[in-house]
A and B are shown apart, each in its own frame.
Chain A
């Protein structure tokens, strides 16, 4: 390869898209490192505090697309204080200052402000794509600046963000000349939507493939939208509380019939069940269906609909579908690759016979040979079922099982579920992500450490007996990147056993475990390349200083540590102490 001019090598590298591969390329030789970094267009940063924007820009001057992740995963479940961090603003400031030709920004669990969005919209003339997932801190005013100033905007995808809705006219801010939109998702907005502006925007966007509207877009508006965008591939439906009258229903169905390219359907929060039936004309084309917000559609309606969706590859559903429903899925959806079953009744008010159990899971595993990813919430499980699932589906890449009651054993044998999960990790040699639940002892971690060779992310809650459990995992799983643990009896011994292990991991989260302040301090001393953060919600630094020497034995409420090349961050709030 050394005989080729740089341009040729660069051209070859262009074909290599995966981040991992490009990272490997850059390690081959100095010249390859240089060519690679100068030609790199897309960069993925899994932890925004592992590096700073200046160094990023220095290394990758041709950056076009940046993906950043901020808060740790457990922030999704309110375990991380709001003010913890993950601010995107310094990144945008630095990128703007360096005049990077940014075209795409994808953020997850970050704090975004209107100011940041305004600056973004004014600083990058070729900006095309903004994807915000689980972010917060901004309002529809920020969206208005993006709409108004980003002339080449193709994609605005807002997934599950906390956005303050000022009920303004942000949709009106897209200039009349803006016709390049391919994807628009504002399903998480809570306020009213200017329907006329939306219809005009959709009408002048012939390349629009993905449209996901929010609750405020009623049925008749949806009908009009579909009529001017029959080319849609991906549709997110709004909400309409009333059953449609005959005429509206027919109009809707007619419009839907014309959407022959439609492959993906979502939304349906607060929808009258009949509205689902309007989609019968295209259901056999669907490859992706998300009805996990449709709390009002009863199981039998769901089943009737899904019976026709023979090409489904991805299904997100509520557990109201029941085991019977899952059996229908198993016999219908032979192409199914990803299934998520969410809990619908979280207050445990009804003794819900229709929710899913281990029976449904086994049925799916038996019927869907291509299944590789599952997230399953249920009230009970057995080892026998898990062993059967493992036999049926050795191809799992992601296996996340959440038994709603912590520490719940196998309900037929009253034993722990160690053997069941053990079977999963033994059979599924390609398993990359695993979440365990139910009654579990150290043994399950012995199995995980022994068999889960490809495991990159592990979520543990209310499990294990001693430090050995965590040690099995740390010693055994060579590819571990993210380990998150809550309410489990792992302490300093496990934390400190192999400090260098954390060099190979992105992060470790431990909350309500047995680690003490003393242990964390020791870790921080021995590993200066780690940021060891202690998060105490209701306290601040001053209060911690006032405590007496017993300090060191004090259990740490929440510990979050991650490798970094830029040292302690400067934007930590008072409730976070960086050791």
Chain B
């Protein structure tokens, strides 16, 4: 590279790749496209695309993203399907719809941080303010009402009436499982109308290992449905929003995006 002037247009190294005129043409074409873009009618989220000279990107539809995003994308592409092709042209690619959202939606593996870092903020906020007996109050202490009793709703398939459980009363999954059994055994038996015979009803077991008739699931603070038992107890407590006991046979349909999120949580 010695002797090569630091002038990108004339560097001999890339003669085979760039041609000065074509490069500028590239920019011009893009500008023209931008003008056209501004005049087009298109379906975009409110607060759409405000930038100049921004290349439009097509986000791959990742079925593991939330439904809302997918539905939004599908409708945009249907409208614009005739205008834009997505073939691999080596010349300038036609502008694609940019997904401008007011808040970034969940994209798999983005931002590129390890999973345990993602849980830091949410698991820490539920720990702060625990047992503050001493007087040193110089830092801002977040009031955590959850600490007094963390009640979440719990529903069970085929039982019309839900219950609430105080997760702080338990120190682990086994205790929770036991509590669920106690809460619902009678209700379930009543639903099934076990006339005579079994009295109290069959114990509800195998909630955590998939071996029982029922399985315990939950919805976390991101709205995802998860199997209970994968993550450390405290992490679960800090992210759970509600619980649901489902029939083990219905796991795959109940947890629509379950597979990949489970993987995500495992890491």
> A: which residues have CB within 8 A of B?
74, 76-79, 81-82, 134, 160, 162, 190, 241-243, 245, 269-270, 273-274, 292-293, 295-296, 298, 300-301, 318, 342-348, 377, 402, 404-407, 409, 414-416, 426, 435, 439, 441-442, 446-447, 449-450, 453, 459, 461-462, 465-468, 471-472, 475-476, 486-487, 489, 491-493, 512, 514, 516, 537-538, 555
A270 touches B124 (CB 8 A): yes
Segment at the A interface, from B10-18, B35-43, B71-79, B160-168: B10-18
Known A77-B110, A377-B111: A298·B140 in contact at CB below 8 Å: yes
- Distance (Å) between the CB of A155 and the closest chain B CB? 23
Contacts of B192 in A (CB 8 A): none
Known: A78-B115, A416-B55, A450-B11. A475 touches B17 (CB 8 A): yes
Give me 14 A-to-B residue pairs in the complex whose CB atoms sit less than 8 angstroms apart, sorted by A's number: A134-B114, A269-B124, A270-B124, A295-B120, A298-B139, A347-B222, A439-B51, A446-B18, A449-B14, A468-B90, A476-B13, A487-B59, A487-B107, A514-B86
| Partner among A79, A426, A459 whose Cβ is within 8 Å of the Cβ of B108 | A79
B117-139 toward A: CB 8 Å interface, digit per residue (1/0)? Answer: 11011111101101111101001
B contact residues vs A (CB 8 Å cutoff): 1, 6, 8, 11, 13-14, 16-18, 26, 50-55, 57-60, 62, 86, 88-93, 96, 98, 103-104, 107-118, 120-125, 127-128, 130-134, 136, 139-140, 221-222, 232, 259-260, 263-264, 266-267
B-side interface mostly: loop
Q: Are A414 and B18 in contact (CB under 8 A)?
A: no
Q: Which residue of B lies closest to A490 (CB)?
A: B88
- Give the residue of A162, A300, A346, A538 whose beta carbon is less than 8 angstroms from that of B121: A346
- Of A81, A344, A402, A406, the contact of B263 (CB 8 Å cutoff): A81
Q: How far is the CB of B35 from chain A (nearest CB, A)?
A: 16
**Would you give the shortest CB distance from B234 to chain A, in whole angstroms?**
9
Separation of A468 and B90 alpha carbons in the complex (Å): 7
What chain B residues lie within 8 Å of A300 (beta carbons)?
Answer: 139
Query: Are the C-beta atoms of A450 and B13 separated by less than 8 Å?
Result: yes
CB neighbours of A462 from chain B (8 A)? 57
Contact B51 A414 (CB under 8 A): yes
Specify which chain A residues have a CB less than 8 angstroms from the CB of B140 in the assembled complex: 298
For the complex of A and B, the 6 pairs showing the least CB-CB separation, nearest first, are A491-B88, A77-B109, A295-B124, A512-B60, A414-B51, A295-B120
* A472–B266 CB distance below 8 A: no
The distance from the CB of A131 to the nearest CB of chain B, in whole angstroms, is 18
A467 near B90: Cβ-Cβ < 8 Å: yes
Chain A nearest CB from B139 CB (Å) reads: 6
Contact at B127–A241, with CB atoms within 8 Å?
A: yes
- Contact call B263/A82, Cβ cutoff below 8 A: yes
Contacts of A471 in B (CB 8 A): 17
Additional 12 contacts, C-beta under 8 A, given A446-B8, A467-B88: A77-B110, A78-B108, A79-B108, A269-B120, A300-B139, A348-B104, A405-B104, A414-B51, A465-B55, A475-B14, A475-B17, A476-B13
Contact in complex: B51, A242 (CB < 8 Å): no
Least CB distance from A301 to B in Å reads 7
